[in-house]
Amino acid sequence: MASSSSSSSVTSPWRYDVFLSFRGDDTRDTFTAHLYRALTQKEILTFIDKDELRRGDEISPALLQAIEGSRISIIVLSTNYASSTWCLDELLKILECKKSKQQRVLPVFYHIDPSDVRHQRGSFGEALAKHAEKLNVDMKLQLWKEALREVAGILGYPLINGHEANLIEEIVQEVSRIANDHFFLPVAKHPVGLEPHLKDVDLLSVETNDIRMIGIFGVGGIDMGREVVRQESLKNPGARSRLFLHEDVREVLENDTGTDNVEGIVVDFPKGDDIIRLSPKAFKKMKRLRLFRCRNAHFSEELNFLPNSIRVLDWPNCPLQSMPSKFRGDKLSILLMPGSSKFKVSKFEENKS
């Protein structure tokens, strides 16, 4: 089971990237095991019920917390999925989090027809009929039926006679795309300059049962993130976790002042000031760099090094003919290089393998 610690300085509101819901008797040692392995190899933090947390008649609090703390739920709908009340209760919780937490849901129709799930035919109809015999009230049964109809209507991944490895690769690519869609900034408990305003906000915390809403609008909201990042190192931009101001990007890349604190770089220069006199060792010290996004800059020298920690490389019109020789790209999950006519993707893929 994947685990994670939490503190006031977490970088993401999610405890896990993925929660896996599956019928153990059907897929634990086959499809789900292979999918879990592929996700973890991409360093995607995945919760799987390895420790048999399913005890008693009700779904365990640990599983409920894992679902609530996951950014994505993958539901492996197999022949005997609906025969487990545990699986059906997981499904209810997942769809609840889809509505309340905007959790992404990716259903996998594993050797079943989605229409059988939607209309409760075949093994799904038989399983629900057996549950109906045991239940004293009809309410829970109706909730399960509605949940199955809803999940069957979500665009998912059908596998009837296809190749499992290809489907797993497709799922992992989609999960990587979602997981890398946002990079969260660490925020101090009381960022500089906000404490006086926090005292004013505290005045609203009165003992009352009514609902109060507070909104922060406009440029000031923008994630205060830039000021928070600047406070990480006032004098040395290369010691900050993110670089997005073009003056800072230029200083770090031209003067080789980057450190292993840097996790993301966005290069977006004003028109007419878009030439970077790149230091040959500019990326050498950035061993934790995960995202490099170059919007419009031009480099005066050939790039000869990229960290193998990079997961997102977004570089339209890239001038490179090939990747730096020591760049393996084994952690790379998103590669976007539109308009890069000189770059040989096939050669890079050959080097990766």
Q: Which amino acid belongs to residue 239?
A: A
Q: How many of the other CB atoms lie within 10 Å of CB of 249?
A: 20
Question: What are the start-end ranges of the E strands in 30-155?
Answer: 46-47, 70-77, 104-110
229 alpha-carbon distance from chain centroid: 22
Q: How far apart are CA 60 and CA 49, in angstroms?
A: 11
Q: How far apart are CA 245 and CA 238, in angstroms?
A: 12
Which residues on adjacent β-strands are paired with residue 242?
A: 264
Alpha helices in 208-266 (DSSP H): 225-232, 246-255
CB 273 within 8 A of CB 294: no
Question: What are the start-end ranges of the E strands in the chain?
Answer: 16-22, 46-47, 70-77, 104-110, 157-159, 242-243, 264-267, 275-276, 291-294, 298-299, 312-314, 334-336
Q: Which of 58, 90, 301, 350 is catalytic?
A: 90
Q: How far apart are CA 95 and CA 9, in angstroms?
A: 29
CB 4 within 8 A of CB 62: no
Q: How far apart are CA 321 and CA 343, in angstroms?
A: 4
Q: How far apart are CA 158 and CA 167, in angstroms?
A: 9
Q: Which residues of 165-175 are buried (b: 16+ CB within 10 A; e: fewer)?
A: eebbeebbeeb
Catalytic (active site) residue 207: no
Query: Helix, strand, coil % (nearest 5) of the chain?
Result: 35, 15, 50
CB 75 within 8 A of CB 21: yes
Q: What's the Cα-to-Cα distance from 245 to each of 91, 229, 265, rounded to whole Å?
A: 44, 11, 9
**Residue numbers annotated as active site:** 90
